[in-house]
Amino acid sequence: MRFLQSELSPCRLQHYQSKAELLKKCGFYLQIEPRYLHMREQNQVITRTDILQMVDRCQLQRMKKVAKNQCEIQLSLLTELLEQLQRGREELSRHLETCDMVTFLSSWDFTMQKLLQLIEFLKILPSLQVPGKLHIKHSLMLQADLHRARLPNIRLSLHTKPPVIFDRKESFAYKERARLQWFPETQESHLERYDLQVKLVTSGSPTEMGYGRLQTVTSNMCIVQGLQPDRCYEFTIRRSTTETLVLEKWQDSITLKTRAAAAEREQGSACALKA
């Protein structure tokens, strides 16, 4: 009972489930360490070179495929483990509630076996909640560049970036434009590139023309111009694809309706009267 009320309480299980759902929405990226090398050129000048300029592209694609498989297996195992913990808790709870003392003691071996299994699952759980390392089976570097530098020991691992989510409080539409803002707002936000898709929501009529465009944004806020009044638009945001992206299935969408021209004029008149 102490185990079910503490380590495997409904609140704790919900916490594990929330972390798993967040991890599924994260973007998984290949991390190469060290990322930069100091190269000595023929004129003896030392330059700082991005290691991605020296890798074998075919081998890099193979490693990204291996990394993607590893991510999908890890997420699948995490989902299965959480389901096993939930079922195990329900099973033990029913056992405690319905059994009398004689029946309970007669099934003591079964109860202890299930309890030890759930404890073992909880020990495994933390390792499935973080991305792991990757083993490099073959050389990642182009052989033609090996004479130019003394290559360090290259390590590959996976790291995650939090999902991009619209700020519902700070995103709204005007008559012919919309102001959009999204999370996460980090120190690196101004260095990241995002793909913003704008799509006119139609009624499905064959005579109604659809509308859509895709634009790249380099901040966590954007003003979308050129919209029509009194129409609904669907906005979708996601990080732009980079060379080290391994897996990212999540993209967030928000639907906003632009104001009618009459409503815009009425609001402007009201503001003028207040002034």
Q: Which of 257, 214, 202 is nearest to 238 (CA)?
A: 214
Token readout for 62 is 């193979």
229 φ/ψ angles, rounded to the nearest 5 degrees: -65, 150
Give 72-85 pLDDT, tens digit per residue.
999 999 999 999 99
Banded model confidence at residue 184, pLDDT cuts 50, 70, 90: confident
Sole residue written with tokens 């074998």:
56
pLDDT given at position 94: 84
Q: Shortest CA distance to 82 belongs to which of 92, 74, 70? A: 74
**List of domains in the chain:** 2-159 (no CATH), 164-260 (2.60.40.10)
**Mean pLDDT of the 137-164 span:** 72
pTM: 0.79
Q: Which tokens hold the place of 71?
A: 């991510």
| Mean pLDDT, residues 58-79 | 92
Note the pLDDT tens digit of each residue in 107-149: 788 888 989 999 999 999 999 988 877 766 656 766 545 555 5
Give 18-43 pLDDT, tens digit per residue. 999 999 999 999 988 888 877 766 66
Task: Using the predicted structure, report yes or no on whether residue 44 has a pLDDT greater than 80.
Answer: no
**pLDDT score at 139:** 67
Report the b/e string of 82-121 with b at 16+ CB within 10 A.
beebeebbeebeeeeeeeeeeeeeeeeeebeebeeebeeb
What pLDDT digit, counting tens, does each position of 192-217 carry? 899 999 999 877 666 666 678 999 99
